[in-house]
Structure 1
Amino acid sequence: MERHPMIAGIGLREAASPASILDALARAGGADLRRLAVPAVKARHPAIAALKGLGYAVTSVPAEALAPQPTLTDSPHARAAMGTGSVAEACALAALGPGARLLGPRAISADRLATAAIATGDPA
């Protein structure tokens, strides 16, 4: 039996560290998840590069793919910066494509520098 694919969408501020992202990921219930989706504009962020070096697979999501995604959260900051209610939620949904669904709203790291949301979808 094939498992449904899962990915964690990540939103992060410039000051975010790998620890910020991993904390948000753990708070979202994805501590063991090694697939991340980030906005293309953040794909070269030092914290993302560090996680790639630790074996995390990272999918870059184009900005135009974020706005159409139906997010559970509607953050005014995310809406102003990226045109979506939640960068993390939108990245997770966009990365998996049609049929993807969120497991819950995004979680925020303790330092408030990163968010994470987990999505699942139908096996391809």
Structure 2
Amino acid sequence: MKQLALRIAGFGFRREATVGSLGQALDQLVEHYGAIDKLAAAHSMLSLVEELGRLRGIEVIAVVDAELATVTTLTHSEQSLQARGTGSVAEAVALLAAGPGATLLGPRIISVDRQATAALAEGNR
């Protein structure tokens, strides 16, 4: 029996971001790709994503910050590379949370206020 793939939304955001910034980015993902099973964030950025998860009734997965630099992403943001060692925090988080063999459904999206990014990965976790 084939296991259904889980769709996990990963987030990256600036200190100034609000839960509204993240919610708007999540809404864009849902509009573009459809249903999302779980949310994910780097451990150091977890609280705001947990708040969004509570508001939306979606489970949140924490990813170890040190693992971000081990992931190859579609996006190559210089700011993200310098700050976190990865081209896109949102893409790296989504891939790590979705597990080995996960794939991104596309590059990250950026919230309208440009404070948050979100990316969607499919995996079997």
TM-score (norm 2): 0.87
Alpha-carbon deviation of 1:98?
Answer: 1.1
Alpha-carbon deviation of 1:53?
Answer: 2.3
Alpha-carbon deviation of 1:48?
Answer: 2.4
Answer yes or no: is the 8 Å Cα contact 2:40–2:49 preserved in 1: no
For residues 107 and 77 of structure 2, what CA distance do their matches in structure 1 show? 11
Q: 1:104 aligns with which of 96, 102, 106?
A: 106
Q: Which runs of 5+ in 2 are unaligned?
A: none
The answer as to 2:23 corresponding to 1:27 is: no
Letter paired with 1:38: A
Alpha-carbon deviation of 1:16?
Answer: 1.1
The RMSD of aligned alpha carbons is 1.7
Q: Which runs of 4+ in 1 moved over 4 A?
A: none
Alpha-carbon deviation of 1:31?
Answer: 6.3
Counterpart residue number, 1:14: 15
**Secondary structure, counterpart of 1:43 in structure 2:** helix
The answer as to 2:42 corresponding to 1:39 is: yes
Alpha-carbon deviation of 1:27?
Answer: 2.3
Q: Deviations over 1:44-96 (max 9, x none)?
A: 2xx32421322221111111111111100000111111110000000000111
Listed as ranges, the matches of 1:1-124 within 5 Å are: 2-28=3-29, 29=32, 32-44=35-47, 47-54=48-55, 55-121=57-123, 123=124
Structure 1 residues 8-17 or 101-110, which shifts more? 8-17
For residues 87 and 117 of structure 2, what CA distance do their matches in structure 1 show? 12
- Tell me the matched-pair count: 121
Percent of residue pairs bearing the same amino acid type: 44
**Secondary structure, counterpart of 1:65 in structure 2:** helix
Task: Decide which structure has greater helix share.
Answer: 2
